[in-house]
Amino acid sequence: MRSSSGGYPLAPDYHDLSGIDLRMVPLLIAIGPGAESRFAIGLTISAGLGIGTLFTVFVLPAFYILLARDHHGSAADEYGNDEESSQVPAGNH
């Protein structure tokens, strides 16, 4: 199933990031009075958005995968659905 973003589920995120980063360019190349403070503001916003997006796209899903791998068998153990609890010992009839 293709989405309206062309089949890429993260396309809207990338489009938002690129649009906001492009809006920061005038702050990054500002000249004249107040240029230093504008540059600092533009750099802070651009770097924060970039780091936040990279964290959201790569680090957070990796963490979820590791967490799911760690707890994969715990639900079966908790509810007694594992193989060991379903086997009846041979000596107890």
Instruction: Enter the tokens of residue 83.
Output: 């193989």
pLDDT at 1 (0 to 100) = 46
What gap in Å lies between CA 61 and CA 69, rounded to an integer?
Answer: 12
64 in helix, strand or coil? Answer: helix
What gap in Å lies between CA 34 and CA 67, rounded to an integer?
Answer: 47
pLDDT at 16 (0 to 100) = 73
Is 60 domain-assigned? yes
pLDDT at 92 (0 to 100) = 56
Is 1 domain-assigned? no
**By residue range, what is the domain housing residue 31?**
11-82
Is the model more confident about 48 or about 17? 48
Is 27 domain-assigned? yes
Is 89 domain-assigned? no
Please report which confidence band the pLDDT of residue 35 belongs to, taking 50, 70 and 90 as the band edges: very high
Helix axes 11-28, 35-54, angle to 10 degrees: 160
Split into its structural domains, the chain has a count of 1
